[in-house]
Structure 1
Amino acid sequence: MSATIKPIKLYSHPTGPNPWKVAMILEELKLPYETIIIEKADLKKPPYEKININGRAPAIQDSNTGLTLWESGAIIEFLIDTYDKTQELSFPKGSPEYYHTKQWLYFQVSGQGPYFGQAVWFTVFHSEKLASAQERYKNEILRVSSVLDRALEGKDWLVGGKCSYADISFVTWYEAVIPRVLAGVVDLPREYANLDAWLERIKARPAITKVLQDKAARASTGK
């Protein structure tokens, strides 16, 4: 299928987690794409804001459909609906699993991403060290992790017995917070064994491994 599809432009950032979860879906679906790195200083400038008025990454431009789209969750839903014709990462429309994958994607974009992002901000980047803010968002990481760990009790994947876009959507934010926020604080394999094993299963998938390697290479050069 991908041989007849023109490359999708993915506007990304070297270190931000959200563009790379979109890259994971593109890789899993074997879609051709071009990664365009937008420097942090350029995200809020008019040329990029014409693509994403919110001035954040990611965004995509798909010349196959003529669609420009931003917000990682919306992009993932578009890619799945448009290109996952054999349901490699999804389920039949209208089935319980169809809605459960959406449930977990929305939990990721509303529950994991914002809290994990604030945890990284107040731990690493904020000019003042505010113990109360650090503690609040660390606790939110643990709460979200507890939800996932309990949901994964006795099973390998969140929905339907297979890896779906819902599972994949959580990986990059854990990659961001484990070294920056959780190191020396939480023993993930011991305290959240189901979650830890699940993350390792996802990261072992060739498409996910490739994207994580690409992300590390981009982060090291900033390009």
Structure 2
Amino acid sequence: MSKPITLYSHATGPNPWKVAIILEELKVPYTTKFMDMADLKKPPFEALCPNGRVPVIEDPNTGITLWESGAIIEYLVQTYDTKAAFTYTSSPERFYVSQWLHFQMSGQGPYFGQGAWFSRFHEESLPSAKKRYFDQIKRVFYVLNKALEGKQWLVGEKCTVADLSFVTWDMMVPFIFGDDAGSLELEKNYPNYFAWNKRLLERPAVKKIAKDKTEASASH
């Protein structure tokens, strides 16, 4: 049996929980170490991640320490998904999985993150910046909705890490948009995306992580 992987995380940010979903789906044993934000920029943690961000994993089974959520997901799939349950080994499907993982990291994550920053944390109100990122979030919805036309999943006929990588940022939409969230009318304007996201949220592993994240946020 594998030794547990250590997942360095914090209570609220989506990216560590994205990795946790993959670990749950793969049934890989792991323990979570929650970090205070202030400690991420200090030498003990920076020895693990010079970028001073979570997630980071330490895998005692291979001796690998790895940061960046997309790289971690690719590593977990290649190392532990021996039956390719959440990916593909065939071409072109395996490249399509990689394509969507990269879109999540370059498109969804940064735009959603900046949307959250300018709507919730920036020291002054900048309506133009807020509009810029809210419009880009809607563009991400549009891209996913279009790609999912006539399909259940992004790649092939099964749920893969390409789908699962989007979940935790999508969970942030009510927080990002606040009172404006209802105006998105996701089910009406992006029905394929809405149905897909609902399927993902109904998965047992996703439900568990959503519950764990809520409990962690309340206690940290």
TM range (shorter): over 0.9
Tell whether the 8 Å contact from 2:7 to 2:56 is kept in structure 1 after alignment.
yes
Q: Match for residue 151 of structure 1?
A: 147
Q: Match for residue 37 of structure 1?
A: 34
Amino acid at match of 1:64: N
The TM-score with structure 2 as length reference comes to 0.97
1:66 equivalenced with 2:63 (yes/no): yes
The TM-score with structure 1 as length reference comes to 0.96
In structure 1, what is the Cα distance between the partners aligned to 2:212 and 2:50? 27
For residues 170-185 of structure 1, the aligned pairs below 5 Å read 170-181=166-177, 183-185=181-183
The number of aligned residues is 218
For residues 10-89 of structure 1, the aligned pairs below 5 Å read 10-89=7-86
Structure 1 gap segments, 5+ residues each: none
Deviation at 1:27? 0.2
Deviation at 1:95? 1.3
Structure 1 residue corresponding to 2:119, chosen from 111, 120, 123: 123
Deviations 1:41-81 (A, max 9, x none): 11111111111110001000000000000000000000000
Structure 2 gap segments, 5+ residues each: none
Deviations 1:136-159 (A, max 9, x none): 000000001100000001110000
Q: Match for residue 216 of structure 1?
A: 214
In structure 2, what is the Cα distance between the partners aligned to 1:179 and 1:192? 19
In structure 2, what is the Cα distance between the partners aligned to 1:187 and 1:48? 41
1:9 equivalenced with 2:6 (yes/no): yes
SS in 2 for 1:156: coil
Amino acid at match of 1:51: L
Deviation at 1:183? 1.2
Tell whether the 8 Å contact from 2:112 to 2:176 is kept in structure 1 after alignment.
no
